[in-house]
Amino acid sequence: MTSATMDASPKPARKAPDIQVLHCLNPECRALLAYEVDSDNVLYVDLEWTANSDGALRYFPCPKCHGRNIVEAWQSEHGKLKHRVTRWQPGEGHGGA
Ligand SMILES: [Zn+2]
């Protein structure tokens, strides 16, 4: 008899939004930022208007690593326009320009 039971445990299909606090997207920083996002980093309360802007770029500055957490327009599955924190960039102004 073999004991090779390889049944993949099914993941629970939860549809409820998983609200969490945004962390800095810099994996070496992960500072808490005062924004609520869901598990896809979509802003739960759309505070995109509070983001800093640099030309067409919108971002939340990180108080710890001074990087930029880039906010981009994002269309939800219901066709509603929201905003999502998509990526991180190192901050500028730390090394001359
Ligand atoms: Zn940071």
pLDDT of residue 42: 95
What is the whole-number distance in angstroms between the Cα of residue 31 and the centre of ligand 1?
5
pLDDT tens for the chain, 97 residues long, are 656 666 666 766 666 668 999 999 999 999 999 999 999 999 999 999 999 999 999 999 999 999 999 999 999 888 999 999 999 999 876 544 4
Q: Which residue has the tokens 């004991």?
A: 3
- Max Cα–Cα distance, the chain, nearest Å: 70
Across the chain, how many H-helices and E-strands are there?
Answer: 0, 6
Cβ(41)–Cβ(19) below 8 Å: no
pLDDT of residue 9: 67
What is the whole-number distance in angstroms between the Cα of residue 9 and the centre of ligand 1?
35
CA dihedral 42, 77, 79, 26 (to 10 degrees): 20
What is the whole-number distance in angstroms between the Cα of residue 14 and the centre of ligand 1?
30
What is the whole-number distance in angstroms between the Cα of residue 74 and the centre of ligand 1?
22
Residue-range domain boundaries for the chain: 20-89
Q: Output the pTM of the full model.
A: 0.76
Cβ(42)–Cβ(83) below 8 Å: yes
Spatial separation of the C-alpha atoms in residues 45 and 82, rounded to whole Å: 9
